Amino acid sequence: MSQETMAGKRDYYQVLEVTRSATAEEIRRSYRRLARKYHPDLNPAPEAEEHFKEINEAYEVLSDDDRRSSYDRFGHAASGMPGGFGGFPGGADPFGFGSASGSPFADIFETFFGAANTQRPRTPTRGADIQVTLAIEFEEAIFGAEKDIEVTRLEVCESCDGTRMRDGQQPPACSVCHGSGQVRRAQQTILGQFMTSTPCSACDGTGVTISDPCPDCRGRGRVARTRTITVSVPAGIDENASLRLTGQGEASPDGGLAGNAYVRIVVKPHPLFTRKERTIHSPLRVNVAQAALGDELEVETIDGPVAFRLPEGTQAGQQFRLKGRGAPSIGGSDRGDQIVTVQVVTPRKLTPEQRELFAQLAVSLDSEAPRVEGERTFFSRVKDALRW
Ligand SMILES: [Zn+2]
Ligand SMILES: [Zn+2]
């Protein structure tokens, strides 16, 4: 990560349009408002997506107490985001301790002793990912396409702004766990007394009581919405590839980041072409005369028909390579090849003249297979054929 990246980063508070003394709740509300304003689905402006990412990055840091306080002290260098520690040569730690957020032992102590002194704020859950299948044409897989897909997903309820309460009021803290979402209990073991925490059953671990639920989402904070999303399918994509659309999954139930949408690609079969990685395969049907004599032909490619010279004496099953008529690699400009496999089509019905010509050919050509000797020799059959 270069120094320019760090220098070019905007202040996270400025990004979220809050003051440095903003409360966690103020930051959350501002994040929601901005995320909705700049969500690429809802805002077609070209800079919206970049802005949306910036908002999410800022929120990821400022919504986490530890990371926020490191950021307050050391700026972007300590935020743990791209452009952070990587900016120091050799990854050196200029602050003299292992982690910018405090003692590296803190977590270990908490694990063993149940966080006796600190009550960590709950980290918001990320929204669920969603899976969508997108069927595209063979040509679209080669050249890329813009496709609209419909997704149904849970989004933050607009009536309550996700607070789950009528008109977006703040829900009161749960009276059982006093807002922590955890119920702590001392447990006696042979090793001594341990403190254990379990999610509060009164509030399902959310720490709040929904005393006056929002009527639109029935107190859930999220509602199902069907949206049309435009997917840019890159040229060269192949069957079963999966595209990730960051932040296009379901909204978080508690103010965290949205999940991702994964679009699995299914390529519809083509009547003529098949594909193996970057190589396109197609059959080329020619008659026996063309195979024997050679011909000037047009061969179908994914770019349209191209001139092709079939050489004299072409065998059934023989393959020819058309350079650069295959699929591109994703993100690359060079293309694979097309391989054409010759199918020699033997006529099923002959006119009298054709039959005579073949019979003459039969006399003149050497047979590759041994003939039946006896009464009906090869030549007697030829004579039969000529006797019309
Ligand atoms: Zn609601
Ligand atoms: Zn509770």
* pLDDT tens string 23-60: 888 898 888 888 888 887 777 888 888 888 888 889 98
Give the ligand with the smallest distance to the CA of 215.
1
**Ligand 1 geometric centre to CA of 255 (Å):** 13
**Ligand 2 geometric centre to CA of 198 (Å):** 10
**Ligand 1 geometric centre to CA of 156 (Å):** 8
| Residues written for the chain | 388
Around ion ligand 1, residues with a beta carbon closer than 5 Å are 157, 159-160, 214, 216-217
Contact indicator for 67, 121 with CB cutoff of 8 Å: no
Q: Which amino acid is at 104?
A: P
Distance between CA atoms of residues 78 and 329, nearest Å: 38
**Ligand 2 geometric centre to CA of 203 (Å):** 4
Give 4's pLDDT tier (boundaries 50, 70, 90): very low
Q: CA dihedral defined by 14, 16, 21, 24, rounded to 10 degrees?
A: -160
Distance between CA atoms of residues 241 and 115, nearest Å: 44
Give the ligand with the smallest distance to the CA of 167.
1
Q: Which amino acid is at 53?
A: K
pLDDT tens readout for residues 64-116: 888 888 888 777 766 555 443 333 333 333 333 333 344 444 444 444 444 44
DSSP-assigned states of every residue in 35-103: HHHH-TTT---TTHHHHHHHHHHHHHHHTSHHHHHHHHHHGGGGS-STTSGGGSGGG--TTSSS-TTS-
Contact indicator for 84, 75 with CB cutoff of 8 Å: no
**Ligand 2 geometric centre to CA of 364 (Å):** 97
- What the block records as the tokens of 325 is 């008529």
Quickly count: other Cβ atoms within 10 Å of residue 168's Cβ: 15
Burial grade of 205 (CB within 10 A; 0-12, 13-18, 19 or more): middle
Give 153's pLDDT tier (boundaries 50, 70, 90): very high
| C-alpha Rg value of the chain to the nearest Å | 35
pLDDT for res 109: 40
- What the block records as the tokens of 112 is 């063993």
Distance between CA atoms of residues 129 and 36, nearest Å: 18
**Ligand 1 geometric centre to CA of 181 (Å):** 21
Can you tell me whether residue 221 is helix, strand or coil? coil
Distance between CA atoms of residues 278 and 324, nearest Å: 10
Intra-chain end-to-end CA distance of the chain, in Å: 86
Average pLDDT over every residue of 352-364: 92
Percent of the chain exceeding pLDDT 70 equals 80
pLDDT for res 270: 96
Percent of the chain exceeding pLDDT 90 equals 52
pLDDT for res 296: 96
Contact indicator for 342, 317 with CB cutoff of 8 Å: yes
DSSP state of 104: T
- What the block records as the tokens of 208 is 């709040």
pLDDT for res 28: 87
Give the ligand with the smallest distance to the CA of 179.
2
Q: What is the pTM of this model?
A: 0.58
Beta strands 242-245; 295-301: pairing state:
unpaired
